[in-house]
Amino acid sequence: MHNSSMPTMINHEPKVLILYTGGTIGMVENPTTGAHEPLDFQHLASHVPEMNQLHVLVDTMQFEQPLDSSNIKPEHWQRMAEVVVENYDYYDGFVILHGTDTMAYSATALSFILQNLAKPVIFTGSQLPIGVLRTDGKENLITAIEIAAAHDRIGMPMVPEVCIFFQSYLFRGNRSKKFSAEQFNAFSSPNYPPIAEVGVHINYAHHYIRHAISTEKLTPCYNFDQNVVVLRLFPGISPSIVRSVLNIHGLRGLVLESFGTGNAMTDDWFIEELRSAVDRGLVIVNTSQCIGGGVEMSRYDTGNRLKNAGVIGGGEMTTEAVIVKLMFLLGQDYSHEKVCKLMNTNLAGELNEKSLQWKEINDSTTLL
């Protein structure tokens, strides 16, 4: 299979592949327990006859066993990406139906796995099952298909990156987070504008769309290291708790959820525990508990002490992006120094800095 990165112009009726992984959109209520349980895609499709009215050729695949997204793991990220890679030359875009709870993690993961991606991969789902009268699933599915099939005047893909479409907004996947368990407008992108807004028309913000910057072929990179933990700070956190987390056997990366712009207590014991962990080779990345804004450890002394202890700033990345990116980088067998530098380097649009090409990143001499 060729898997060329630079997309060919669409001069035919566009073809979109839908991958159904599970999630609320395809669930039905169990009459005995009242709980929502996943069904197969045929059940879902039967509730959306409007799909037949789209000027798009749609094919479908599904996980053998549809999953509640709370059960998603890195091996499922790999399977999603494999579907894209194996079918890359045969479709103009891809839609992945996914539960909302971990959708932002999966979209972020695929943005790193699918190196040199040049076609749309659109995640969507719903807050209510497709068979419920007030479901948001129909609109989300139909619009996601339209976006995945969309092309510009010369036939090039409109959005050649991994995104999340939900309700009225298209967000970059690795900039997104679920912020509401109740509202139909469940996702936000705190530090990056929507790529498109959907009303009567789909209005694309072309200057915010990330286009392929390389002529290299699509190259998947599947390895993730799961030896990562999140430590959320709070006033009065116990030294014994911090020490026990930092000394977890086999731990390679820690995401520190700090206050404000990356601030933490300045107790000597705390700073020394972090410094000792960094000296042992642990990669510690500082991210803010705030939804918007980012980490600027040099702004206050409380953050500067973390920096001096060897803690890396996570910039404006979401916690989801920091976790997945750290797992991804640790899975590539890079040196400790390279992992630290790449955490502050824009790889797939997760940071505002200018992107490096994957060829540069994977060059063994780059950033060492």
Listed residue (73, 76, 59) closest to 21, CA to CA: 76
- Say which residue, 149 or 30, is predicted with more confidence: 149
Distance of CA 193 to the CA centre of its chain: 16
**Domains along the sequence of the chain with CATH:** 15-220 (3.40.50.1170), 228-362 (3.40.50.40)
Judged on CB neighbours under 10 Å (0-12, 13-18, 19+), 112 is buried
- Paired strand residues for 113: none
| DSSP conformation letters of 5-31 | SSPPP--SS-EEEEEEEESGGGEEE-T
User: Is 24 an active-site residue?
Assistant: yes
pLDDT band at 115 (very low <50, low <70, confident <90, very high): very high
Q: Average pLDDT for residues 2-10, to the nearest whole number?
A: 51
Q: Backbone dihedral region of 3: left (phi > 0), alpha (psi from -120 to 50 degrees) or beta?
A: left
Can you give the pLDDT at residue 54? Answer: 84
Q: Given a cut of 70, is residue 117 above it in pLDDT?
A: yes
Tokens of 344: 């502050």
What's the CA gap between 233 and 287, in Å, rounded?
11
Type of residue found at 281 = G
What's the CA gap between 73 and 100, in Å, rounded?
14
151-196 tens-digit pLDDT: 998 889 999 999 999 999 999 999 999 999 888 888 999 999 999 9
| DSSP conformation letters of 22-60 | ESGGGEEE-TTT--EEE--HHHHHHT-GGGGGSSSEEEE
217-275 tens-digit pLDDT: 999 999 999 999 999 999 999 999 999 999 999 999 999 999 999 999 999 999 999 99
Alpha carbon dihedral 253, 225, 210, 200, in 10-degree steps, equals -100
Catalytic-labelled residue, pool 21, 24, 287, 318: 24
